[in-house]
């Protein structure tokens, strides 16, 4: 996943208990036998491996699937085939066009005072270095704010290096403050006359695989080829810098922009029996970064939500309104799928009753939140009642969801947050270590159990969740 | 470190309590004030950071130092400088000549049925593939024994893949049974008409960095270019193979043999006040594999033993006999330093009173063992008495030490084993993850405290530990 600045702001507001009106009981909203069916499916889902098998399949049979790569097309075919074999009612492809960004060879090394190699990876959207690389003295700043405050003299002719460390937090809130270095270092360094830009990986691990992730790049703006060192290599560079001698580094990044490419949002519908043209939107993004196999980011989200919709159809039957699973195209370097879907469905945004995305890894869910009209709070109370045996509380109406819902949320759609434990998420996020072994089958099954409760109740609810909500 | 087959046999015999004669007390062997000095230094060492700073320095200022690489020479200079600055009495270089083995580019990928990249690294001493790589169908065997039992038909024209998994054990005893695949796959596969050889990494982790390590290669024998997949990539290949379709893989290894090179064993002596020409041998190996910075393998062993000798001189004074710290050259791909030292000192082997090597990572020591004449058992009892407060028992006279002592042990020298907890050692061993962050300062200090007790008492002991012991 990738956070936009707006999402980060939302993150900071999250998890607060909101005041709410007296609620009706779940029995007023849903027939008793429906609630019993959901309860039964919730329990069954806890030992069901449909989602895990989908994750295994996508990572094994497709693997890394960067937007615009050959594996992007393979992933689209995979998703179509899976939706078909899982008996979804309607499957559609919606085109998503973007300019490709392709990774190239990448190397880094300390030249002086102590020659040794460093592990680097290009940030997504970075321009390439010249073939022979960029060689220069390091200008070291602890944070992006320190770089912003620096004079041009401190930066001119140098390779800027930002060493800020991300903090480990259950809700991932260490990411927001740290990730600004990933977005902004190339731009700010270029503006001050720097010749190169390197950051410490935005991640909480101590591995040799650096974290990629998109950097800001807009035509007409100054920028520089920018890469991330692994946290271990950043530790090493920090220790070299502590010797207080000038430190010279060389790095090479071969990544570059390519031609236009059309991928697809792959959409699977379980069509509503009463309101087929109203949608509860769930899903994950189908693309991944290229370094790992995209198991936690975001085969997990795809598997969890595909399994959820399928299990509901199989064990409860057609919902009142349509459950739409969207497997988003190219989330990672620009939310292209999200923007294309919003553009194509703008005229019927108000038919998108509520949305949620699973894009925070493979950890267990620990809380449910909403961002919906207060009139719909009884629905969340009903969900919370069904989630009690899983120890998952409802934590209020200032919730957030995944990045692919940003355009629709801005347009006024209600969202739900099914918050996952992200304590170890940023150990693997956007690195070569994002692989199947990091996915624990029982944790994935717990996710599906929770998504079943949310999705079934949202799709069956006779009312709506409000529209035109402020962003 | 690298185990020889003999060492593995010895491993299997280790850790058994041996019968021993009634012992004298420590007070009969050593003056009381000496024992008090050792006790004091032991306690001081527990918070001393000399060893950790040496490890930090070697990994930061030299980094990866494969035998024959430019960093090999830098490491020799580093070691000389450190011995000097630590006030060793005598510093000497002894030449160690070997043929260089140089790593080249390395790639691997599944071609069919599911194209995706794999992480591979050449095993040390492997020959290179052709530039375009080797492409072929996988012939999968669970173990090297299964390969040995296979018919030529099963192997001919195929790339052999051995998927055996190493087991995690505190004493590292999972290594012996697993590592035969690393030594033998290329030879056995070649003899049966295979065109390539790949193994699962010999390691206990779930990381993307494959484990290198030496493979058997002797002129005149059949062999093949052989690489190890990371455990994670081996998991992936195993999952692909479970689909029961033919699996085609391509891999490229650029590593090859180069010219002759002369490196050095770097030797620092704390010269004995009474018996300067009798030696207690301690040390670690100065070279490392090239993938990490060789922090646990074996900057740790170098740092621990250099600090030990230095602290003894500083706080207790000149020992009765010489404490010789040997930083061994090119252990990793052939025990070259060990063999050169033995060859050069063959005539005075009996002056090498006892030896121990620290080459099992950065974990805490949990036991002391010996392999010495039974007449010297009271010395080990005295050591055990001083190690009691650290909860370190003496576990008998069937002990083993590090690989660099193999030639001298075979010649009859007594050895001691200061056994380190290796539970996580094979998560990092020979991989890119062998870096400073895996070294915990307090654990290193604990090692030094134990080495101080062993080394001081061994060097001060008026008797000897026997010579001409059976191997």
CB contact under 8 A, B236 and A115: no
Nearest CA in chain A to B56: A239
A270 touches chain B (CB under 8 A): no
Among the three residues A227, A254, A281, which one is the final residue of a domain in this structure? Answer: A254
Residues of chain A with pLDDT under 70: 1-25, 471
Model confidence band, residue B16 (pLDDT cutoffs 50, 70, 90): very low
Residues B133 and B92 placed together within one structural domain of the fold? no
Average pLDDT, chain B: 94
pLDDT confidence of residue B25: 67
Contact between B116 and A433 using a beta-carbon 8 Å cutoff? no
- The model's pTM: 0.93
| Rounded Cα distance, A255 and A220, in Å | 19
Calculate the dihedral angle through the C-alpha atoms of B205, B209, B211, B212, rounding to the nearest 10 degrees.
-170
Rounded to an integer, the average pLDDT of B97-122 is 98
Measured distance CA(B169)–CA(B175) in Å, rounded: 9
CATH number, residue A109: 3.50.30.30
Predicted confidence at residue B219, as pLDDT, reads 85
For residue B382, pLDDT over 60 is answered with yes
**HSE-CB of B273 using CA atoms within 13 angstroms:** 9
DSSP SS3 for B272: coil
A186–B contact, CB cutoff 8 A: no
The H or E element that residue A387 is part of is helix A377-387
Q: What's the structural domain count of chain B?
A: 2
Residues of the domain holding B222: 104-254
Residue A470 confidence (pLDDT): 76
Distance CA B196, CA A295 (A): 30
Spatial distance between the Cα atoms of A200 and A173, rounded to a whole number of angstroms? 18
Q: What does the pLDDT read at residue A24?
A: 53
Q: Cα distance from A415 to chain B (closest Cα, Å)?
A: 36
Q: Which two tokens stand for residue A116?
A: 């040794």
d(CA B12, CA B6): 10
From the list A308, A305, A286, A306, the residue with the least C-alpha distance to A297 is: A286
Residue B152 forms part of a structural domain: yes
A411 and A285 fall within a common domain: yes
In a domain, A467, yes or no: no
Residue-level pLDDT at A403: 97
Domain co-membership, B92 together with B112: no
Examine the domain organization and report whether A267 and A370 are in the same domain: yes
Q: Is residue B467 part of a domain?
A: no
Judging contacts by C-beta atoms under 8 Å, the chain A residues touching residue B436 are 232, 235-236, 239
pLDDT at residue A28, as a whole number: 83
Domain end (from B254, B277, B293): B254
Pair (B314, B398) in one structural domain: yes
Question: Are B433 and A232 an interchain contact pair (Cβ–Cβ within 8 Å)?
Answer: yes
Q: Identify the burial level of A49 via C-beta atoms within 10 angstroms of its C-beta, where 0-12 means exposed, 13-18 middle and 19 or more buried.
A: middle
Same domain, A338 and A454: yes
Q: Are B218 and B96 in the same domain?
A: no
Interface predicted TM-score (ipTM): 0.93
pLDDT at residue B470 tops 70: yes
The C-alpha atoms of residue B226 and residue A435 are separated, in whole angstroms, by 24
What average pLDDT does this structure show over B83-89?
Answer: 98
User: How far is the C-alpha of A258 from the C-alpha of A405, rounded, in Å?
Assistant: 27
Does residue A53 fall inside a structural domain?
yes
Residue in B206, B240, B432 closest to A60 by CB: B240
What are B215-252's pLDDT values in tens digits? Answer: 998 889 999 999 999 999 999 999 999 999 999 999 99
B325 and B405 in one domain? yes
A468 within some domain: no
Report pLDDT digits (tens) over B405-445.
999 999 999 999 999 999 999 999 999 999 999 999 999 99
Q: Would you say residue A471 lies in a domain?
A: no
- What is the band of B24 on the pLDDT scale with cuts at 50, 70, 90? low
Q: Rounded distance, CA B78 to CA B68, Å?
A: 15
Do B359 and B280 share a structural domain? yes
Burial grade of A272 (CB within 10 A; 0-12, 13-18, 19 or more): buried
Is the minimum CB–CB distance between B235 and chain A shorter than 8 Å? Answer: yes
Each residue of B130-182: pLDDT tens digit? 999 999 999 999 999 999 999 999 999 999 999 999 999 999 999 999 999 99
Residues A96 and A121 in one domain: no
B241: which 2 tokens? Answer: 């193979």
Contact A371, A412 (CB under 8 A): no
Q: Among A325, A327, A370, which Cα is nearest to A20's?
A: A370
- Considering only B5-14, B29-38, B93-102, B289-298, which range has the smallest mean pLDDT? B5-14
With an 8 Å Cβ cutoff, are A60 and B232 in contact?
Answer: no
Please name the residues between 119 and 148 in chain B that touch chain A, using a CB distance below 8 Å: 119
Q: What is the CA angle A443-A444-A446, rounded to 5?
A: 65
Distance from CA of A259 to the nearest CA of B (A): 22
Q: Report the distance separating Cα B333 and Cα B215, nearest Å.
A: 8
Supply the pLDDT for residue A25. Answer: 67
B56 and B96 inside one domain = yes
Residue B235 lies in a domain: yes
Average pLDDT over residues B263-290: 98
Going from the C-alpha of A277 to that of each of A451, A462, B167, the distances in angstroms are 21, 14, 55
Q: Residue B203 pLDDT > 70, yes or no?
A: yes
Among A238, A254, A270, where does a domain finish? Answer: A254
Contact between chains at A70 and B115 (C-beta distance less than 8 A): yes
Asked if residue A263 and residue A224 are part of one domain, the reply reads: no
Would A410 be classed as within a structural domain?
A: yes
- CATH number of the domain encompassing residue A348: 3.40.630.10
């Amino acid at each position: 996943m990738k956070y936009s600045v707006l999402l980060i702001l939302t993150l900071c507001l999250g998890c607060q208990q909101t005041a709410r009106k007296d609620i009706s009981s779940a029995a007023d909203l849903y027939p008793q036998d429906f609630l019993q069916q959901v309860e039964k499916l919730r329990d069954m889902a806890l030992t069901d491996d449909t989602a895990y098998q989908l994750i295994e399949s996508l990572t094994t049979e497709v693997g890394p699937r960067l937007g615009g790569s050959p594996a992007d097309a393979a992933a689209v075919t995979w998703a179509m085939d899976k939706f078909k074999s899982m008996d979804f009612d309607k499957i559609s492809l919606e085109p998503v066009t973007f300019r490709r960004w392709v990774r190239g060879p990448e190397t880094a090394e300390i030249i002086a005072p102590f020659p040794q190699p460093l592990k680097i990876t290009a940030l997504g959207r970075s321009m390439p270095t010249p073939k022979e690389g960029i060689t220069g003295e390091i200008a070291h700043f602890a944070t992006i704010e320190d770089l912003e405050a620096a004079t041009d003299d401190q930066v001119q002719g140098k390779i800027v290096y930002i060493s800020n460390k991300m903090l480990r937090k259950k809700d991932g809130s260490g990411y927001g403050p740290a990730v600004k270095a990933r977005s902004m270092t190339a731009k700010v360094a270029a503006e001050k006359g720097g010749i190169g830009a390197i950051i410490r990986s935005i991640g909480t691990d101590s591995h040799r695989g650096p974290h990629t992730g998109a950097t800001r790049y807009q035509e007409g703006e100054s920028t520089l080829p920018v890469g991330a060192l692994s946290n271990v290599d950043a530790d090493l560079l920090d220790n070299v810098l502590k010797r207080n001698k000038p430190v010279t580094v060389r790095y090479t990044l071969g990544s570059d922009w390519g031609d236009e490419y059309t991928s697809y949002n792959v959409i699977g519908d379980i069509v509503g029996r009463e309101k087929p043209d109203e949608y509860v939107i769930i899903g994950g993004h189908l693309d991944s970064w290229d370094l790992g196999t995209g198991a936690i980011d975001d085969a997990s989200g795809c598997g969890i939500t595909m399994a959820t919709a399928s299990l509901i159809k199989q064990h409860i039957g057609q919902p009142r309104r349509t459950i739409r699973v969207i497997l988003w195209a190219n989330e990672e370097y620009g939310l292209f799928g999200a923007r294309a879907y919003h553009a194509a469905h703008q005229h019927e945004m108000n038919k998108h009753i509520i949305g949620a995305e699973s894009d925070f890894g493979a950890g267990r869910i620990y809380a449910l939140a909403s961002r919906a009209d207060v009139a719909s709070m009884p629905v969340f109370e009903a969900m919370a009642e069904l989630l009690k045996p899983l120890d998952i509380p409802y934590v209020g109406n200032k919730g957030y969801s995944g990045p692919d819902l940003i355009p629709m949320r801005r347009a006024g759609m209600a969202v739900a947050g099914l918050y996952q434990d992200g304590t170890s998420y940023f150990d693997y996020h956007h690195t070569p270590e994002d692989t199947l072994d990091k996915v624990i089958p029982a944790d994935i099954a717990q996710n599906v159990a929770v998504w079943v409760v949310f999705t079934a109740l949202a799709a069956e609810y006779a009312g709506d969740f409000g529209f035109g909500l402020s962003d």
